[in-house]
Amino acid sequence: MLKLSRRTLVSGAAALPALTVPALADVIDHPDAELLRLAAELDPIEQERARGIAQFHKQCAIIHAEVERRTGIARCDAPEVTYPETGYWAVEREVSKMVFGSDHAYDEDESGKSAMATLLDRLYPVLDEILSRKAATVKGLKIQTRAAAIAAMDLWDGNPEDKHEKQFIEAACAFFGMDAKQIALAP
């Protein structure tokens, strides 16, 4: 039977953190330690955003199918939007209200703010913090590149005016083996 003295236990316990968490020392001493910390903070928010977007796309598919069933017009063949909505677009608004329960694309909280707006209120400050830093390593730059793609998600809505910014983010993401459009749109 092995007998452990108090001295052996104390000296063993002192060495334990260095043996079990060597990566922690690497993160603390890393030139981009703050970017690594912020990336860890971003991950769960980004996963929540991706789930919200996926749910939104499912709901939109339901809406488009029902509008097509009622009007005989596929979304890709929809007429130009009219205000106030008439015809196709009046049906689309009616079906949207049925699917979403309101004029909003996401459920609202008690203050009337959509869940996605609340999520973006948490997301953008983290992105701002990441993008306000100067990366010192390739790992830090990769974190910033991902954050830039998320922050510029609107670039993938087809607006040709921002093509240079979009092209740069796509090139930077490709350099790191990431797909900018996939990151931005979180499909």
pLDDT in tens, 53-98: 888 888 888 999 999 999 999 988 888 887 887 888 889 888 888 8
- Domain assignment present for 173: yes
The domain containing residue 125 runs over which residues? 31-185
- Domain assignment present for 15: no
- Domain assignment present for 2: no
- Domain assignment present for 92: yes
Q: Hey, what long-range contacts does 34-38 have (CB within 8 A, 24 or more apart)?
A: 34/133, 35/130, 35/133, 35/135, 35/139, 35/140, 35/143, 35/144, 36/139, 36/140, 36/143, 38/126, 38/129, 38/130, 38/133, 38/143
Q: pTM for this one?
A: 0.68
- Domain assignment present for 22: no
Structural domain tally of the chain? 1
